[in-house]
Amino acid sequence: MNTIAAALVRHARTRSGLTQRELAARAGTTQSVVGRLEAGVGSPRLDTLERLLGAAGFRAKVELEPIPPEDSVIAAFKNDIDRTLLRQNLTKTPEQRVRSLQALERLMAEARRAGRAARRGG
Amino acid sequence: MTDFARLLGALHEGGVECIVVGGLAATIHGSARLTQDVDVSYARSTANLDRVVRALAPLEPYLRGAPPGLPFEWSVAMLRAGLNFTLTTAAGDIDLLGDIPGGGSYEELLPHTIVVDLFGHEVRCLDLAALIRAKRAAGRPRDLEAIAELEALSEERGA
């Protein structure tokens, strides 16, 4: 809830061209409340969220979305996933994850180059 | 080979309003699967199309898979005439997506994003739940394994 609320308020505010202070004034609150909410700190009450979005000129539309039934193929793939690798990745920062991907890309490019060279040699 | 830092840096330094989606977004969330291009959803305002053109022009974008020598003009007019573009550049492959199945436009995706620090740039990335929804909506058989991994990541994060 807090990350969705943060993104909604930030998006509504920036689309209205308001600063956090201006939005806070319109909603009868303080800049620090808006700042904390946009930073994803705490879980705002629904009426607080509606008041802030309304002050920015928006109204939230909430819809129920059915959770799709478990797909048997996806479930089978999921059983086969090496979760130790995922857990290892989750200990890294996003940048470290992308750097690892880049390193693998380099390795693959080098393997392809070596393969081509071998075929030419053969 | 795709130079992720260079492509993301060009977009960020050019002030391009865009969201990383696809395989690179999955990597950012912890996926162990390989991806070889950068997929971004981009805002279709004229101002942003101009930013996209200026940001990528030094990387000499060209239509991926097209024969060389086509009269391809990298311009705002060209971007306005289309929606989704698969491009190759001097820094690797990039897909510019004006609309993604199950996600919609840049503006529709925006509330479902996170901002991560990559190579000194603040990069906006589709959040994990929205990424799973988009891949499910795409309905491509090759995405089934990726969806399974993303769902496993979601479970691991909640664990």
Q: What's the pLDDT tens digit per position in B67-78?
A: 888 888 999 999
Same domain, A45 and A79: no
Q: Are residues A51 and A92 in the same domain?
A: no
Whole domain around residue A11: which residue ranges?
2-55
CB contact under 8 A, B127 and A3: yes
Task: Render pLDDT for B77-130 as a digit per residue (tens, 0 to 9).
Answer: 999 999 999 999 999 999 999 999 888 999 999 999 999 999 999 999 999 999
Domain count, chain A: 2
Reported in sequence order, the residue ranges of chain B that DSSP labels E, i.e. its strands, are 18-21, 37-42, 62-63, 84-89, 92-97, 113-118, 121-126
Does some domain include residue A108? yes
Q: What is the ipTM of this complex?
A: 0.89
- Tell me, yes or no, whether A78 and A43 share the same domain: no
pLDDT in tens, A87-98: 999 999 999 999
In sign, the C-alpha dihedral spanning A8, B49, B102, A95 is negative
Q: Are residues A6 and A51 both part of a single domain?
A: yes
Q: Find the residue in A nearest to B34 (Cα).
A: A101
Buried b (16+ CB within 10 A) or exposed e, B13-47: ebebbbbbbbbbbbbbbbbbeebebbbbbbbbeee
d(C-alpha B153, C-alpha B155), whole Å: 5
Cα–Cα dist A10/A4, whole Å: 10
pTM, two decimals, is 0.76
- Chain B contact for A59 (CB, 8 A cutoff): no
Nearest residue of chain B to residue A108 (CA atoms): B1
Give domain status of residue A62, yes or no. Answer: no
Q: Is residue A43 very low, low, confident or very high in pLDDT (cuts 50, 70, 90)?
A: confident
Residue A61 lies in a domain: no
A122 pLDDT band (50/70/90 cuts)? low
Instruction: Answer yes or no: do A51 and A77 share one domain.
Output: no
Number of domains in chain B: 1
Q: Answer whether residue A32 is part of any domain.
A: yes
pLDDT, averaged across chain A: 89
Q: Which domain holds residue B67?
A: 4-158
CATH assignment at residue A39: 1.10.260.40
Closest CB from A3, A77, A98 relative to B27? A98
Whole-number average pLDDT of chain B:
93
B65: domain CATH number is 3.30.460.40
Contact B153 A95 (CB under 8 A): no
Same domain, A42 and A79: no
Residue A60 lies in a domain: no
**A78 CB near a chain B CB, below 8 Å?**
yes
